[in-house]
Structures are given as structure tokens and as C-alpha cells.
Structure 1
Amino acid sequence: MTSPALAPRPSPPGGYHAVVVGGSSGGIDALLQLLPALPATLQAAVLVVLHLPRDRRSLLVDIFQPRCALALREAQDKDAITPGSVSFAPPDYHLLVDAGPRGPHVGLSLDAPLHFSRPSIDVLFESAADHYGPRLVGVLLSGANEDGVHGLQAIQAAGGLTIVQDPASASMPTMPQAAIAALAVDHILPPEGIARLLADLHQRQQL
């Protein structure tokens, strides 16, 4: 299943300011195609939640940094959210977007898990939708539960762009299937198609 190369709605004036990405089982495989395709000149901030074991150090920065042109980091509480960077949620913390007088920054929370997960995709997506509104792109990848569906709905309600991995390309299709059943997403694409779409938005100076 694929969708057109461009969003059905016009991009917001000034383009998109942030991309939020969520995934669970199979999400790393999708990210290995998506993140290396993002150019060093990207003007949007990228924030990523993957369901990780709570009691182990995350190796995501170690895995992805050699493959990526963008600067990657594990998010720390109160970090500034800056264009052209990728921030991963640390294990056992919810990752949020908080507003501040100097611009958006990272918030980390030990609130109860959602969908048995901390970090939760819904928590990131909903907080980002509150802050960025129509200037947000939400990407939901492979996974085995329904985390991220409510968050993607919040992004759509705020006027943001919604993208879901094609379930046929996902090793765990439950998460993308749940999103497709719950809302009319803008794009349903395999990981390489998502990468092409984001690259196209960047080339049009919208990302």
C-alpha cells in the first residue's frame, strides 16, 4: 500500500518545525532506512521514541550515528530542541516537548507507563502536537501494540502531517494497522517511501 508523493493538504507557512517518530518491535529496522536518508541541512528537529528494555543502556546513538549526517543524542531533561538534530528517548523515561521562554525543550517524566511502555509514543506525540500544531510531522512505525495511535490522532487534530509505515513492510504490523483503522492518515508508505517523502519536503524547503 502506498500513498501519493505529496501531502493532500498544503504545507504550513514556514514549513514543518519538528518530526516525531515512534516505533516498537521492528522499528529499528525501519529507522535504519529512515534516519540515514535525512540530510545534514535538515531544518526540523527530530525526536524518536522506541520501546526499549527499561533496565539496559540504550545503544541507539552508537548504532545510528555512524550512518547519519545529523547530530544524534540521547535526550536529557531540559535539553533545547534544536533544528537539524535527532533526540532519542532514554530507557524508562517518557519523552515530552515542553515550552519555555527560550524555545521548546525536552522534558523527561517518570509518570506511569502507557500501553505497558515507558517511554510512550503517545506521550511524545501528544505533547509535540500541543506545541508545534500544524508544523509537526508524525511518523508511526512497526510495533506490536497500539501505542502512538492516540498521539497520531492528536497530531492530525492539530493540523500536522501523519505518516504510517505500510503494514505489509512491518515485521510487527499491529501498530500501523491500529493507526490506519483509527484515522485517515495522510501517507501509508514503506520505510524507503517515508524517507523519500521527508527528503522531498526538505528539497521544497518545507522541512
Structure 2
Amino acid sequence: MSDFHIKHQYKAIAIGGSAGSFQVITKILNHLPKDFDIPIMMCLHRLRHVRHGFVEALNIKSSIEVQEPEDKQSVQRGGIYLAPANYHLQVDPGNTFSLSTDDLINNSRPAIDLMFHSAAAVYRHRLIAILLSGANRDGALGMKIAKDKGGLAIVQDPSECLIDTMPTAALKITPIDYQLNTDQIIRFLAELHEKNKAGILK
């Protein structure tokens, strides 16, 4: 019997994380089916002026290529996208990315709140927002907006997090759908993939 109530044919997955999230995201990417066809966009706090090495490290573990999108690049099925260092990443109407060097949000650029907010405006109830371990409150407000627009809200179980500030902040202001550890997130995505392939989601 399924542990998850997956209702919709989701169009995008947005993942945010900071301190303690790198190992989690690499494990998730490593276990994704190679034909996983829902685009994944990631905003992970990273050193602002280190341009190389981060995406390459993710690609060592990922079953699908991770790329840093360019401004106005289209979101493609099956694509995995990482916000570039020192750039905010947003999704615009028309299913394209935009990059900016606007002011820091929650002392962060890229900011998870901004990515979640923009993705929620575009995908609404067909967005899955996932917030992982982190040391500040970035992502909590964006998660609330995603949930308010009908999206599915998931946080990493605070008891598993290296630093639980991010998911705990989200839990305080939003009725989160699932609190999952890393292995459960992997199972959720696998089940979502199988249901998509079977064509049983609306």
C-alpha cells in the first residue's frame, strides 16, 4: 500500500536547501530513474564567488545531467536545473527561466523564497515544493505561497536534518503535506514517476 496520496500529474518540482543539504540532494539525484520526466529546479545556498565545482560535484552522483540554466532558457521535461552562484533563479510565465542579481533575500542570492514563489505562480497546484536542511528561514515563506496556490509541500524531517532551521520555519507557518527523511523522499519520487508512466494521474 502506498504511503503517499499523489493526486495530480505534476509539472515541476522545486527543491531548496542550505547547510546540510548537499549530501541529501546528491543521494536523491543518484536514485532518480534515468527517464524521470518532471523538471526539477534547485536553489541551494552556495559560495557566491565560486563559479565552478558545485554543479560538477552534483553530476558525479546524479543519474541525470544537472545544468545551470541561462537567462530565458526554456524549462524542459526531464531537465534538472541548479540556480547559478550569486544569481536569483525564477520561473516566468511561458515556462522559461530568468536570472537576476537583484538584492539579497534572507541574506541569500540565490533565494529559495523567490524560486518557490515564482514557480508557484506558474505551476500552481501542479508544483511540488521540497525544503531540505538549512540554517536560515529562506524557503519558509515561499513554501507557504506554494501551498496556498494548491501545490504539494514537503519538508525534510527536522530530526534527520544537520540543521533544522529551514524545515522547522516552514512547519510553523504552513500545513505541510509530508515530513520525510531522505529515503522517503526518494520513495515518493519513485512512486510519482511510476504513476506518471502508468498514466493514472489527472
Question: What band does the TM-score fall into relative to the shorter chain?
Answer: over 0.9
Aligned residues: 196
CA–CA distance in structure 2, aligned partners of residues 190 and 37 of structure 1: 14
**Percent identity between the two aligned chains:** 36
- Aligned mate of 1:121, from 103, 112, 115: 112
Matched residue SS, 1:169 = coil
Gaps of 5+ in 2: none
Counterpart position of 1:164:
155
User: 2:80 is matched by which residue type in structure 1?
Assistant: V
CA–CA distance in structure 1, aligned partners of residues 78 and 170 of structure 2: 27
Kindly indicate whether the alpha-carbon contact (under 8 Å) linking 1:169 and 1:190 is maintained by their aligned counterparts in 2: yes
Matched residue SS, 1:143 = coil
Structure 1 residue 150, shift from structure 2 partner: 0.8
Map residues 193-204 of structure 1 onto 2, 5 A cutoff. 193-204=184-195
Kindly indicate whether the alpha-carbon contact (under 8 Å) linking 1:149 and 1:178 is maintained by their aligned counterparts in 2: yes
- What RMSD in Å do the two structures reach over aligned CA positions? 1.3
Counterpart position of 1:131:
122
TM-score by length of 2: 0.93
Matched residue SS, 1:96 = strand
Deviations 1:36-82 (A, max 9, x none): 12112112100000111111114232112232222210121111110
Counterpart position of 1:30:
24
Gaps of 5+ in 1: none
- Aligned mate of 2:10, from 16, 26, 32: 16
CA–CA distance in structure 2, aligned partners of residues 55 and 68 of structure 1: 24
CA–CA distance in structure 2, aligned partners of residues 186 and 35 of structure 1: 22
TM-score by length of 1: 0.91
Matched residue SS, 1:97 = strand
- After superposing on structure 2, the runs of 4+ consecutive aligned residues of structure 1 that deviate more than 6 Å are none
Matched residue SS, 1:177 = helix
CA–CA distance in structure 2, aligned partners of residues 58 and 125 of structure 1: 24
User: 2:46 is matched by which residue type in structure 1?
Assistant: L
Q: Which has the higher contact order (CA 8 A, sep 6+)?
A: 1
